[in-house]
């Protein structure tokens, strides 16, 4: 069974490759690892292939899977890739321990309603901190927790914000808050903490019907969060909203109702965040360098682009593979060199890992067999496949093993050899990279095929 490019690799980083299997036939192999010394004696290599490349439009990505962790807010902007905006939809329910008893207590007085989210401190992209205009809106429609949601999801919301402030976002810095129970200032780990509009909070607090979870979910349909730079700096930041971080015993990722009983007893109730969190991405290439390269194969042979979050991809076509279809292929490697693009700067690091996909007969991206086979065998795909950023003289490059991919092409004439380059964990990863194209004068995309001499 082929693995979809979106959720396929959440297990990859914790597995260790345990064996290397080499084959000289056209059957699939577990890895296309280093060649044995005896094999090298009888090997030839072909490098003079006709290859084409170009930048193609991106496609929507599934932003919630069983392994999803990081959800992003903010924007990135520059002259090369244009603008990327990241927004979040989320909704809430009762915690599993209790119902909100304040609704039935006539002595309860509303204090505040606060949204608390845990930063993913490794998810910052662009600047490390920035002044942001953060707004929160009430959703005006109910959405199902069972549906699949993609990065182009657009839900209706009430246009009057229930939070609208300019604030400094610094995901790695601790904060001080006034503790509700004691009234004392206490230091806590870095967190995204928003005191929502009192009128919105009181509409929940005073509604005596909200003692049933389904009624509450219909009343508070959810929220829509946006964050835009005040300074114009590129800054995307993220939250750890994995399933494991949304449990009732976790001290963050909650909507907290603070209240007082009989003017003396300070209490709170934690509404849980529903697992169905949605990231919406809006990528605008208007006026950017990338916009000039999309679907332009003539210039795509000199320069091509790839971007995460459902952004553009690099397409690579092989035009003369027939000349090797009858050879005993031992290994096939694809080399792609990173282009040195001006006006990008050090804020946007090159992705440490890229992956390759094909399209199935329904047009859905699937990782190639050189990734899928080791994963299905319960080992990491990285050692046999590669795709890791490495130094190459004064620049950098990626080298990928595509042996099994080519063998599949030769076994099945209807299977396309065309490859698509993506960043790892595309649905969560805003990383982007520019490549020298297939016909670049100095650093072209290169296919090296090693085969056994007859």
Q: What is the pLDDT of residues 233-264, one digit of tens each?
A: 999 999 999 988 887 778 899 999 999 999 99
Angstrom CA distances, 335 to 63, 72, 326, 424, stand at 30, 31, 23, 17
Buried b (16+ CB within 10 A) or exposed e, 395-432: ebbbbbbbbbbbbbbbeeeeeebebbbbbbbbbbbbbb
Angstrom CA distances, 5 to 311, 357, 369, 371, 402, stand at 14, 7, 12, 10, 16
pLDDT of residue 34: 54
Confidence check: pLDDT of 11 > 50: no
8 Å CB contact between 315 and 56: yes
Is domain 12-57+294-452 classified as CATH 2.60.120?
yes
Beta-bridge mates of residue 166: 133
Integer Cα distance of 389 and 157 in angstroms: 42
For 382, how many CA atoms within 13 A lie in the half-sphere containing its CB?
15
pLDDT of residue 406: 96
Confidence check: pLDDT of 161 > 70: yes
CA nearest to 404, candidates 421, 430, 426, 386? 386
Integer Cα distance of 369 and 378 in angstroms: 14
* Mean pLDDT within 105-133: 94
Confidence check: pLDDT of 6 > 90: no
pLDDT of residue 41: 58
8 Å CB contact between 269 and 384: no
Q: How many CB atoms lie within 10 A of CB 390?
A: 10
Mean pLDDT score across all residues of the chain: 89
> What does the pLDDT look like over 393-438, one tens digit per residue?
989 999 999 999 999 999 998 899 999 999 999 999 999 999 999 9
Please name the residue that has the structure tokens 């503790």: 179
pLDDT of residue 19: 34
Angstrom CA distances, 163 to 139, 200, 201, 217, stand at 13, 10, 11, 20
- Every domain range in the chain assigned CATH 2.60.120: 12-57+294-452
Integer Cα distance of 428 and 69 in angstroms: 8
- Per DSSP, 338 falls in state B
pLDDT of residue 35: 52
Instruction: Give the pTM.
Output: 0.88
pLDDT of residue 246: 87
pLDDT of residue 175: 87
Confidence check: pLDDT of 14 > 50: no
Confidence check: pLDDT of 45 > 80: yes
8 Å CB contact between 302 and 339: no
Integer Cα distance of 140 and 159 in angstroms: 9
Confidence check: pLDDT of 36 > 60: no
Element (DSSP H or E) covering residue 37: helix 37-41
């Amino acid at each position: 069974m082929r693995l979809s490019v979106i959720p396929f690799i959440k297990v990859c980083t914790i597995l260790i490759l345990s064996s290397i299997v080499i084959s000289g036939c056209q059957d699939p192999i577990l890895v296309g690892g280093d060649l044995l010394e005896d094999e090298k004696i009888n090997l030839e290599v072909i490098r003079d292939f006709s290859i084409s490349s170009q930048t193609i439009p991106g496609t929507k990505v599934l932003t919630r899977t069983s392994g999803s962790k990081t959800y992003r807010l903010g924007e990135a902007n520059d002259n090369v890739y244009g603008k990327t905006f990241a927004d979040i939809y989320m909704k809430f329910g009762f915690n599993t321990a209790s119902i909100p008893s304040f609704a039935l207590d006539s002595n309860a007085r509303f204090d505040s309603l606060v949204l608390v989210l845990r930063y993913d401190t490794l998810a910052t992209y662009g600047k490390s901190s920035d002044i942001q205009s953060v707004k929160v809106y009430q959703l005006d429609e109910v959405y199902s927790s069972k549906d699949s949601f993609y990065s182009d999801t657009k839900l209706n919301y009430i246009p009057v914000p229930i939070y609208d402030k300019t604030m400094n976002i610094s995901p790695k810095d601790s904060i001080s808050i006034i503790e509700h129970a004691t009234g004392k200032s206490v230091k806590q780990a870095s967190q995204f903490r928003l005191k929502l509009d009192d009128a919105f909070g009181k509409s929940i607090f005073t509604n005596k019907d909200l003692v049933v979870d389904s009624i509450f979910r219909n009343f508070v349909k959810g929220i829509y969060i946006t964050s835009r730079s005040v300074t114009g700096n590129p800054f995307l930041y993220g939250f750890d909203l994995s399933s494991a971080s949304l449990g009732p015993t976790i001290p963050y990722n909650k909507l907290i109702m603070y209240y007082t009983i009989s003017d003396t007893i300070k209490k709170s109730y934690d509404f849980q965040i529903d697992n169905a969190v949605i990231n919406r991405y809006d990528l605008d290439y208007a006026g950017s360098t990338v916009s000039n390269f999309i679907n332009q194969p003539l210039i795509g042979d000199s320069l091509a682009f790839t971007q995460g979050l459902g952004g553009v991809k690099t397409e690579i076509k092989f035009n003369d593979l027939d000349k090797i279809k009858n050879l005993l292929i031992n290994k096939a490697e694809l080399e792609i060199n990173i282009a040195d693009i001006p006006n990008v700067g050090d804020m946007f690091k090159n992705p440490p890992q890229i992956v390759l996909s094909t399209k199935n007969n329904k047009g859905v991206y699937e990782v190639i067999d050189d990734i899928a086979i080791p994963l299905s065998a319960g080992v990491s795909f990285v050692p046999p496949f590669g795709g890791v950023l490495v130094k190459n003289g004064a620049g950098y490059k990626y080298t990928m093993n595509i042996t099994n991919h080519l063998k599949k092409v030769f076994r099945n004439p209807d299977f396309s050899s065309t490859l698509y380059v993506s960043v790892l964990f595309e649905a969560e990863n805003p990383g982007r990279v520019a490549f020298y194209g297939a016909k670049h004068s100095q650093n072209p995309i290169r296919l090296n095929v090693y085969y056994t001499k007859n």
